[in-house]
Amino acid sequence: MKPYTKFEDWHLEKLASPLEARAYLLIALEDYENDHNTEAFLLAIRDVANAMGGIEKLAEETNLNRQSIYQTFSGDGNPRLDVLL
């Protein structure tokens, strides 16, 4: 039987590459410019953040509040891009 890999694991492994992450974010930004789907754009940023070490590391490197970042990426809150910009 062929080994099984979860899509999420494969996806995050690919996004751990800076070149792959950059390409993924450029496509996500282009899509956002066309459809203004904030939820999809924030999901792309969250995926890259998780692949690059997680939200906590992102907060440390950007000097942003970790809780604000989690809230921005959660499906429960009202996502605001200005928190990240």
Share in percent of the chain as helix, strand, coil (round to 5): 70, 0, 30
**Inside any domain, residue 64:** yes
Whole-number CA gyration radius for the chain: 14
Asked, for residue 8, whether it belongs to a domain, the answer is no
Is residue 5, in this structure, part of any structural domain at all? no
pTM above 0.85, yes or no: no
- 9 domain-assigned: no
Number of folded domains that form the chain: 1
Other Cβ atoms closer than 10 A to 48: 20
For residues 8 and 47, give the distance between their C-alpha atoms in angstroms, rounded to a whole number.
9
One digit per residue, the tens of pLDDT, for the chain of length 85 reads 678 889 999 999 999 999 999 999 999 999 999 998 988 998 999 999 999 999 899 899 989 888 888 887 776 656 566 555 5
- Residue 37's domain spans which residues? 17-83
Q: Comparing C-alpha atoms, which of 27, 2, 1 is closest to residue 14?
A: 27
In the numeric block, which tokens belong to residue 47? 């995926």
Quote the tokens at residue 24: 């993924």
In a domain, 3, yes or no: no
